[in-house]
Amino acid sequence: FAYLGQRYNGLEYHANNNTRYPTIEEEMWKAFDKAKLIFPTPNPDLKEGEPNWEGCEYSKAGRTDKGVSAFGQVIGIRVRSNRPVDKQATEEGANNTNGATEQDNSERLSDSEPVPPRQGAFHPFKDEIPYPQILNRLLPPEIRVLAWCPSPPPDFSARFSCEERCYKYFFTQPAFTPTVGPESLLSAKGDHNRQREGWLNIEAMNEAAKKFEGSHDFRNFCKVDPSKQIDNFRRVINKAEIVEVPGKEKGVLGYLDLADFQQYQQSPPAKESNSHNHVIEPTVQQNPKTYAFKVRGSGFLWHQVRHMVAILFLIGQGLEAPSLINDLLNTSKHPEKPTYDMADPFPLVLEECNFPSSKMQWVHLGDYTGYEAGVRKAGGKGNGKHGLGGAVDELWRVWHRHKIDETLAGSLLDLVARSNREAIADNQPEGDEVERSKSVRNVESQKVYQGGDAPRLVGKYIPILQRPRMESVDTINAKYLKRKGLDPPERNRGAAE
């Protein structure tokens, strides 16, 4: 299933943790419970209506934090089924945890059609309850169930059976609106090729991202949770890269292609003339573009991706060199993590959770209607993908609302940025004044981009390796045990998340 996480307090529900926004698990549990698809073991310690997965063999592939989205999240859960129950198994109560018969369960299905009479052999897809369609009718539009697997392996765990997870962190180029004037020109790349503040050096970021690949100790790229007592921070990154997100529409922020805002200070390209002496304007690239840091690995530490992205942004801004990745991965030389802020959560997406394809056969929305021909489809809303009430229809509404917001805000921004450009040009310093403005910049507050809507002013920038260090992992873990009065656990723990 997929969800847009900006309005949710992460995936996991924690009892007695009152937050402004609900969690994804709360919404999922309410849908499963209302549809009477699960029958959890009663827990007297939980309040009425509180999520309870006990007895449901519940597992999840990846935990996402507050504001983080997912396009390929996977959970494992035991649900009610139309599948005929073996008579002997029924007598033994193997598939009837709470004493409800198959007929009882069928009658308890909320907001769905009666189970049709079966003719011939039971079809595992067509005769089964249309789970995605039913759940999507009960879930908020930002959460959509996309597929289900009817016959996972007997020992299936969404967490431990997952072979690879893929994350994407989206950002724009430029990262924030470029600052005009010579004081905004950063790294020198020749007399007429100095990068303007607000733009990112994508090539340098990609060079740095490649250094993450392989097996490394990522203790300097995560947040330590002492309650887990993890001392093994080695993880395997299969692939890490900066990729451009394809765009099919002309952007509305045309002002970014004007000379005052372009990425590098350079001599304006000469205008060409064709055989008819018509002046040909130099071609400019449509901006802004959208990129993503894409990373694949078997497992990740707490906040690992957001720490990796934060360092990449510093490199893209020219504040750090790509070699910083090598330094931070060298934990024998740098065993204690320097203090730095991780990137914002909202642009992060758990894109995929991959399982052995030979063992998992997925039934996607649109593959089957849920019931055979001749029986009215669930809710009369098609196959759950297209048509009224389908996932595509609901997600179009979500997208359209945000697209109109983007167009209106972008048009206004472009209008304001383009206005009175002559006054901007007249106020540009020249000669010695340019050199003075460069030196003034050294004492001004540095803008640092962290993935949010605007950069953060940090004062005079201090390089990462010159910053104060946090306590070592061993010290953090030992202090936690002492505070809790606990004995040290067995070592070499390092559960992936």
Which residues belong to the active site?
65
Element (H, E) at 440: helix 432-441
All residues at 6 or more sequence positions from 61 whose CB lies less than 8 Å from its CB, including other chains: 73, 74, 75, 158, 159, 162, 165, 353
Contact 367, 361 (CB under 8 A): no
Q: Which region holds residue 292: left if phi is over 0, alpha if psi is between -120 and 50, else beta?
A: beta
Radius of gyration of the chain (CA): 28
All residues at 6 or more sequence positions from 143 whose CB lies less than 8 Å from its CB, including other chains: 1, 2, 3, 24, 27, 28
Distance, CA of 174 to CA of 107 (rounded, Å): 56
DSSP label of 385? S
DSSP label of 373? T
Q: How many CB atoms lie within 10 A of CB 43?
A: 13
Place of tokens 């901007």: 424
Contact 209, 312 (CB under 8 A): yes
* Antiparallel, parallel or unpaired: β 164-173 and 289-297: antiparallel
Element (H, E) at 328: helix 324-329
H-type alpha helices, 23-145 = 24-34, 87-92, 102-107, 131-138
Place of tokens 């055979």: 372
469, β-bridge pairs = 338
Structure tokens at 17: 């943790």
Please give the angle made by the CA atoms of 484, 304 and 13, to the nearest 5 degrees.
Answer: 60
All residues at 6 or more sequence positions from 141 whose CB lies less than 8 Å from its CB, including other chains: 394, 395, 397, 398
In degrees to the nearest 10, what's the CA dihedral of 25, 31, 34, 36?
-90
Distance, CA of 69 to CA of 321 (rounded, Å): 30
* Antiparallel, parallel or unpaired: β 69-70 and 348-354: parallel
DSSP label of 370? S
Q: In degrees rounded to 5, what are phi and psi of residue 372?
A: -65, 165
Distance, CA of 270 to CA of 43 (rounded, Å): 76
